[in-house]
Amino acid sequence: MRATNFRIIFCLLIFGLQLNAQDDSVNFEAIVSKKNLGLNENLRVDFKMNKDGDNFTPPNFEGFKVVGGPNQSVSNMWVNGKRTFSKSYSYFLSPLQKGQLKLGQATIEVDGKLFKTLPVNINVSESVKISKDPNDPSYVVNENLHLVAEVSNINPYVNEAISIVYKLYYSPQINVTNVGEVETPEFKNFWSQNIKIPRLQIERGSFKGDNYNYVTWKKTVLYPQKSGKLEILPLSLDVSVDVPTNRRDFFGNRIYDQVSKKVTAGKKIINVKKLPEGAPKNFNGAVGDFDLELKTTKSNLNASESLQAIVKVSGKGNLKLFSPPDLKVPSSMEKYEPEYKENISTDLSGMEGSISNVFTLVPQFQGNYPISPIEFSFFNTKSNKYETIYSKELIVNVMEGPISLNQINKENNIDSNLKNILPSIDQFKFIKTSTNLTKINTPTFIYSNTFYILLAIPFLIIVVLIIFFRSKKISKSEMLDFKSKRANKLAKKYLSEAKNNLDKKDIFYISLEKALHNFLKSKLAIETSEYSKERIYKLLSKRNINNQTLSSFLKLIENCELARYTPASDVTINNDYENAVNVISEIDKIL
């Protein structure tokens, strides 16, 4: 009987050890949303593990394009004294080709051992019709998210301004969490200028008769440079969307499914009309509505003095695409190359302002100099015809100076064909040729006592500064220790503020951004003026920060910037907080 009891106890002990061994085993796998999909569908893949690890490396996703992710989520629960841990990295992929594609192996390091996922085969077929199941998140996003290109005029003349505005419409029932531009439209055969949008702002509007929220993503002014059918290639965006489900969590909050979708505005065809026949000879391509002005800075002056003549074209049209007309002056007035000036503002209606050429003129002799009127031709898009405008004739009066040979000949009834007759030598009397200088006696400063004292002061200051800084010198190790403590203190302070404001999106992301900023400022000794993603990438790369950690850190910075303009769910905020804690700890450990 005792032997039987011993065997039972021994078996139970072995079984318990096996259970513990199973509990301690590492499970690392790749979970895909579907193994068969169409060319126009997206695939979600989660790399899930039951133990926390380091140095996660995803596969190269050959045959796919990453349109979303990586998104990291962590679950750590205790139920009846038993801990359940789960961590996953999620990616959204878009297939690039049809056929049998393979997702390679992802790797992670747990307790010094390397673990790999199994490869997953994905079958990609022709484009399929999107499911119309209202419970399918992909269908909900497809029906409630639209990118629209609004063109002001699809039948303009050559060099007539048109505008194109890209708006992202989304239904109030979904939340847009992240937007990235993946394909930028090309404006071949157009002169183009983007209109700066100070900040993305959510507005209310209607799309196909339904109420929508929308964000104006891009504004551009275009001037077609040739006639015919011109094509504008599409703008494409990658949009991450939180779709509400019918499920709720333990606290009764609605659970959201995150879906990544690529939206495109489609290409646009612009039918550009030729300018009518019969253009004036002096037409130089100006299209719009303009005024012409000719003025001088002086109307009375002496010979050899200079004045400026300004030829100014102002109005609305393609001001940057033509030059002001030239200026014609008498041969005895010297004209220099003009200085070009412009004062132009550009909005959705096109360019408006003025361009001008400033000519410097120098008359050589006495007399009255007429400056002939200038003519300027342009095509007026309001009246659809060519117009020519003229400036007024100007007279410049030169009062003192030499008299021209022609004038002398006229006064003395001399044939103007006699070229060798010179004017009187008195013509140069107005130029002063003598000077009246007086000697100034000043005391000698060089080699005086004051000179030597001032010479010695800088050297004394240098010696005093060297002594001072040596007395205050701090060892390198003490300085590094001080910066490390300061970094941890700042990180804890601002992360604590972020944690206390998880339910207040704006305050949370401001605190989180300050935490990231001050952490880098203390660790890498960079100033606020150097705080850019390119600068951060270079500095962290030099410190051997792995690509995964570096990408996560930059992704957090982007989330903080975008969160001011786009709505964010509780899931996104919690994920960003967890990611910030992990990334800061990882970078702090490496540095």
Average pLDDT over residues 350-366: 93
Residue 122 burial (CB count, 10 A): 20
Which one has a higher pLDDT value, 570 or 339? 339
Whether residue 262 is contained in a domain is answered as yes
Q: Same domain, yes or no, for 33 and 101? A: yes
Residue 177 burial (CB count, 10 A): 25
Q: How far is it, in rounded angstroms, from Cα 388 to Cα 179?
A: 49
Q: Same domain, yes or no, for 31 and 94? A: yes
**Of 197-211, 343-357, 464-478, 506-520, which gets the smallest average pLDDT?**
464-478
Whether residue 489 is contained in a domain is answered as yes
Last-in-domain residue among 360, 376, 398: 398
Give 411-444 pLDDT, tens digit per residue: 555 454 434 334 444 444 555 666 777 766 666 6
- State yes or no: cis peptide before 70, omega within 30 of 0: yes
Residue 520 sits in a domain whose CATH number is 1.20.120
The reported pLDDT for the residue numbered 419 is 41
Q: Same domain, yes or no, for 239 and 332? A: no
DSSP string, 319-339: GGGS-PPP----TTEEEPPPE
Q: How far is it, in rounded angstroms, from Cα 265 to Cα 297?
A: 53
Q: Same domain, yes or no, for 144 and 114? A: no
Average pLDDT over residues 159-175: 93
Residue 29 sits in a domain whose CATH number is 2.60.40.10
Q: Same domain, yes or no, for 44 and 160? A: no
Determine the distance from the C-alpha atom of residue 216 to the mean position of all C-alpha atoms in its chain, rounded to a whole number. 15
Q: How far is it, in rounded angstroms, from Cα 104 to Cα 118?
A: 8
Q: Which residue reads 């080699």 in tokens?
A: 447
Q: Same domain, yes or no, for 79 and 146? A: no
Q: Which domain holds residue 69?
A: 23-125
Whether residue 280 is contained in a domain is answered as no
Pairing of strands 120-125, 36-38: parallel
Q: Same domain, yes or no, for 38 and 150? A: no
Among 131, 114, 142, CA closest to 38? 131
Q: Same domain, yes or no, for 244 and 322? A: no
Answer for the pair 85, 23: CB distance below 8 angstroms, yes or no. no
The reported pLDDT for the residue numbered 428 is 47
Q: How far is it, in rounded angstroms, from Cα 178 to Cα 416?
A: 83
Average pLDDT over residues 192-215: 90
Whether residue 449 is contained in a domain is answered as no
Answer for the pair 522, 549: CB distance below 8 angstroms, yes or no. no
Residue 166 burial (CB count, 10 A): 20
Whether residue 408 is contained in a domain is answered as no
Last-in-domain residue among 100, 125, 150: 125
Q: Same domain, yes or no, for 298 and 231? A: no
Determine if residue 465 is left, alpha or beta; phi over 0 gives left, psi from -120 to 50 gives alpha, anything else beta: alpha
Give all strands (DSSP E) within 145-185, no chain letters. Answer: 145-151, 162-170, 175-183
Helices (H) and strands (E) in the chain, counts: 9, 30
Residue 37 DSSP symbol: E
Residue 330 sits in a domain whose CATH number is 2.60.40.740
Count of structural domains, the chain: 4
Tokens of 303: 């010979």
Whether residue 303 is contained in a domain is answered as yes
Average pLDDT over residues 145-156: 94
The reported pLDDT for the residue numbered 256 is 80
Whether residue 465 is contained in a domain is answered as no
| CA dihedral for 408, 413, 417, 422, sign (positive or negative) | negative
Q: Same domain, yes or no, for 334 and 265? A: no
User: Residue 367: what residue type?
Assistant: G
Give 108-137 pLDDT, tens digit per residue: 888 888 898 999 999 988 877 665 656 677
Q: Same domain, yes or no, for 106 and 151? A: no
The reported pLDDT for the residue numbered 7 is 55
Whether residue 452 is contained in a domain is answered as no
Calculate the average pLDDT of the chain. 80
Residue 174 sits in a domain whose CATH number is 2.60.40
Average pLDDT over residues 206-227: 92
Tokens of 394: 């100007």
Q: Please, which pLDDT band fits residue 158 given cuts at 50, 70 and 90?
A: very high
Give 36-95 pLDDT, tens digit per residue: 888 777 788 889 888 888 888 899 888 888 877 777 777 777 666 677 788 888 888 888
Question: Given a cut of 90, is residue 487 above it in pLDDT?
Answer: no
**Of 30-44, 151-165, 378-392, which gets the smallest average pLDDT?**
30-44
Backbone phi and psi for residue 125, each to the nearest 5 degrees, phi listed first: -110, -170
Q: 64: part of which helix (H) or strand (E)?
A: strand 64-79
Q: Same domain, yes or no, for 147 and 108? A: no
Average pLDDT over residues 525-553: 72
Last-in-domain residue among 349, 372, 398: 398
Among 487, 511, 485, 489, CA closest to 498? 511
